[in-house]
A and B are shown apart, each in its own frame.
Chain A
């Protein structure tokens, strides 16, 4: 439902809304980078997100979840842009992704080793290798720490699907990080290890 405001309160409200929305710029940009895996596309996506958000500002209910609302717009804008560009196969909602078998059995690497050995760049690279639906679910859950229900609203799928994507995404991410860590261990072992990766 549209609210009616006088022109002065509308201006003040818009300024306040703009300020609140722009506070999420870095978080939206970081998510856009993971979705697009490309800084130029991420910038385009964030601009498009804010353009849509500001044009639809009246649909936003003050006091509700602005961050979730902006991420929903980002998600939809990303799908639209990708559809328009048609430059990569749609994988986000394909049945194949939902039905993908669990990745291998995984290695029983102790948690503390991976925690110590994983650098930001390693993690970004491993995340970027996940199928998009898993990557987005893990990002929204573990970086943005949205609830399952919020994620379901953002990506517009049932909660069960959200949980399945998070689960498979995390397991696949784990296996990629383990494999990466083992590659470095093999390379580093003859010379006594990589100083940037203690314990590997």
Chain B
């Protein structure tokens, strides 16, 4: 009689009906004589039958919007561009995310309280640096594409200027910033070679100070469509103010 240790490696193929006829007789003979292997084979057979009986019904449908998000990956990713529209939590180094949370932890209560502008600007600067450092940006995106993506993925309503009205800015991405419970829209531009971020803060968040210099970056804030918008770049104040004026004057669509 074969040893259990000889039969065990063949058990799955036996249960699946995929062992050659000669081995099948050998396995069947052993299982008939060995109570332990008989129980193992029976257990495996039952589990196999149960799972296969549920194989279709156990498949849970993907969320309705997931296909659209994945298709966007196809349109931008297949062309060799890393899509910044699709950055998700998976793309975040956790150590950095933890640092961001620690940096802001406990500093912010939004709604009725005026937020410490410097703390917010510091947080946005970190987000700005992270996104431009970690992720490739495509050469240019259509404002309609970014607006639609921000709306579809995160529910953000952000009206962006058309390319010919953007004062020379090149639109290179849009995503959600995890700051302030992930309720901040982050739009990425380039002004020449200079990375420029536009952050649209959630309703109720107001800054006590509208121009802040932090970590070598300049942040300029203004109110539009009932929200605080912040333009941030490592650039001269005059240039950042010019960008803020461009983004602030374009009518919402």
- A interface residues with partner B (beta carbon < 8 Å): 14, 17-18, 21-22, 25-30, 33, 39-41, 43-48, 50-52, 54-55, 57, 77, 81, 84-87, 102, 105-106, 108-109, 111, 114-115, 118, 120, 123-124, 127, 138, 141-143, 145, 148, 160, 163-164, 166-167, 169-171, 173-175, 177
Known A-B contacts A46-B70, A51-B83, A85-B94; A123 and B54 likewise in contact (beta carbons under 8 Å): yes
With a CB–CB cut-off of 8 A, which chain A residues contact B69? 47
If A46-B62, A54-B77, A174-B46 touch, whether A25 touches B94 (CB-CB below 8 Å) is no
Q: Which of A43, A48, A52, A105 has the most CB of B within 10 A?
A: A43
Q: With A and B bound together, what is the CA distance between A14 and B79 in angstroms?
A: 9
Taken residue by residue from 201 to 222, chain B's Cβ proximity to chain A (1 for < 8 Å, 0 otherwise) reads as 0000000000000000000000
Q: Given A46-B66, A54-B77, A118 and B88 touching (CB < 8 A)?
A: no
**Residues in A neighbouring B58, C-beta threshold 8 A:** 30, 120, 123-124, 143
Q: Does B86 contact A (CB under 8 A)?
A: yes
Q: How large is the interface on B (under 10, 10 to 19, 20 to 34, 35 or more residues)?
A: 35 or more
Tell yes or no: B90 within 8 A of A by CB: yes
Chain B residues with CB below 8 A from A85, complex form? 94
Residues of B within 8 A of A27 (CB): 59
Contacts of A142 in B (CB 8 A): 47-48, 51-52, 55
| Cα separation A44 to B86 with both chains bound (whole Å) | 9
Which 3 residue pairs of A and B lie closest in terms of their CB atoms, listed nearest first? A29-B62, A170-B47, A50-B70
Using Cβ atoms and an 8 Å threshold, which residues of chain A touch B93? 84
Cross-chain contact A55 with B80 (CB below 8 angstroms): yes
Q: Which of B43, B77, B83, B88 contacts A174 (CB 8 A)?
A: B43
Chain B residue at smallest Cβ distance from A43? B66
B78 at the interface (CB under 8 A from A): yes
CB distance from B92 to the nearest CB of A (A): 8
Q: How far is the CA of A25 from the CA of B73 in the complex (A)?
A: 13
Does B147 sit within 8 A of A, measured CB to CB? no
Distance from A144 Cβ to chain B, minimum over Cβ atoms (Å): 8
Pick out which of these stretches binds chain A: B4-12, B104-112, B242-250. B4-12
Q: Determine the chain A residues whose CB is within 8 A of the CB of B60 once the complex forms.
A: 26, 29-30, 33
A44-B89, A44-B90, A45-B90 known; A118+B50 contact, CB < 8 A: yes
CB atoms of B13 and A54 under 8 A apart: no
Q: Establish whether residues A43 and B57, one from each chain, have CB atoms under 8 Å apart when the complex forms.
A: no
Contact B73 A163 (CB under 8 A): no
Instruction: Enumerate chain B residues within 8 angstroms of A81, measured Cβ to Cβ.
Output: 90
Q: Measured between C-beta atoms, what is the minimum distance from A66 to chain B in Å?
A: 14
The residues of A that contact B73 with a CB separation of less than 8 Å are 47, 50-51, 54
Could you list 28 A-B pairs, sorted by A, with CB under 8 Å?
Answer: A21-B74, A22-B67, A25-B62, A25-B70, A30-B60, A33-B60, A43-B62, A46-B62, A47-B90, A51-B73, A54-B73, A77-B90, A87-B94, A108-B42, A120-B54, A120-B58, A124-B58, A138-B51, A141-B16, A142-B55, A145-B55, A163-B13, A164-B12, A170-B12, A171-B44, A173-B50, A174-B43, A174-B47
Cβ–Cβ contact A171 & B43, under 8 A: yes
How far apart sit A39 and B59, CA to CA, in the bound complex (Å)? 13
With contacts A48-B90, A105-B36, A167-B44 taken as known, whether A18 is within 8 angstroms of B63 at the C-beta atoms is no
Contact in complex: A43, B46 (CB < 8 Å) = no
Q: Which residues of B contact A141 (CB under 8 A)?
A: 16
Cα A89 to Cα B201 in complex, Å, equals 37
